């Protein structure tokens, strides 16, 4: 083939791909603006829960040698999503980053994940997004099961934001919903001054248990989003989510887009909440 014809074909194909990319970005921009405008007319969740799922699959799809790099991409995504929440004035955000089952993975992967969590917690201690929107960081879960380096990072992040009062960021680490309920029941029992099991059974109430949950004192989640296409809760906020709305998104967490976020909010606004009534 003549070199001139070859170059012309090459340039034509590149031009086609570039134009197609520009068109997609423009349409995305327009759609995002329309969604944002629509959503601002409706109710915004006070408490949003997010299950950050898909970091490992993202790492594999991107060809990363180290799965921890997928978790790092997921950690970076958090800043962006907190910004979106701040823009809509979501007051409370609860994210699930580590479950007791996750800790049972291979030692190398778990140590890498602990390193990512430590790095992110330290970065959040002085994060402009956290300060801009006034997020107070609170960690929920079995913190004692974590390495000292992670516990120290948790303490620093909580201390550095303890005077923030406008919004709350709950970070669920080593958190399991069943474990939380069991621990709350144990604490409730210890507070009861009763003479028999029968008396305990007759006086123990749902309010007693709720008062010992990690999230005691804040509203239950209005909406819970799970990324990565998995359609299950896996134990996230089991007690608190009794009347929550759920939204399951196919996007892996590091690839979670603003239109995915806005679609979840729109889906929440389109539902009629009955709270069991």
Instruction: Give me the active site residues, please.
Output: 53, 102
- Closest C-alpha to 133, from 86, 75, 81, 76: 86
Q: Which residues contact 216 (CB under 8 A, 6 or more apart)?
A: 210
CB 113 within 8 A of CB 71: yes
Do the strands 92-96 and 245-248 form a parallel or antiparallel pair, or are they unpaired? unpaired
| Long-range contacts, 26-33 (Cβ 8 Å, 24+) | 28/259, 31/259, 32/258, 32/259, 32/262
> What's the residue count for the chain?
277
Q: Tell me, what DSSP letter sits at residue 243?
A: T
Tokens of 122: 């330290």
Q: Which residues contact 218 (CB under 8 A, 6 or more apart)?
A: 47, 92, 168, 170
By CB atoms closer than 10 A (0-12, 13-18, 19+), residue 234 is middle
User: Residue 36 and residue 34: Cα distance in Å, rounded?
Assistant: 5
By CB atoms closer than 10 A (0-12, 13-18, 19+), residue 213 is buried
């Amino acid at each position: 083939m003549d070199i001139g014809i070859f170059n012309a074909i090459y340039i034509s194909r590149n031009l086609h791909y570039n134009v197609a990319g520009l068109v997609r970005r423009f349409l995305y921009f327009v759609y995002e603006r329309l969604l944002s405008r629509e959503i601002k007319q409706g109710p915004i969740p006070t408490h949003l829960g997010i299950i950050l799922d898909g970091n490992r699959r993202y790492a594999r799809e991107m060809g990363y040698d180290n799965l921890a790099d997928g978790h790092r991409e997921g950690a970076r995504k958090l800043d962006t999503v907190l910004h979106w929440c701040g823009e809509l004035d979501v007051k409370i955000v609860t994210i699930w980053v580590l479950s007791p089952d996750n800790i049972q993975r291979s030692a190398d992967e778990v140590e890498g994940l602990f390193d990512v969590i430590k790095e992110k917690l330290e970065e959040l201690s002085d994060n402009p997004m956290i300060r801009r929107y006034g997020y107070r960081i609170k960690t929920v879960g079995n913190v004692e099961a974590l390495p000292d380096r992670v516990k120290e990072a948790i303490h620093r992040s909580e201390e550095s934001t303890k005077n923030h009062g406008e919004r709350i960021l709950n970070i669920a680490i080593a958190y399991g919903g069943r474990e939380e309920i069991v621990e709350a029941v144990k604490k409730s029992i210890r507070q009861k001054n009763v003479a028999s099991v029968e008396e305990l059974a007759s006086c123990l109430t749902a309010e007693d248990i709720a008062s010992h949950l990690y999230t005691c004192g804040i509203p239950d989640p209005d909406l819970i989003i799970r990324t990565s296409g998995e359609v299950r809760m896996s134990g996230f906020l089991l007690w608190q989510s009794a009347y929550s709305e759920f939204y399951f998104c196919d996007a892996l967490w590091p690839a979670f887009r603003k239109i995915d976020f806005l679609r979840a909010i729109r889906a929440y606004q389109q539902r009629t909440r009955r709270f069991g009534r």
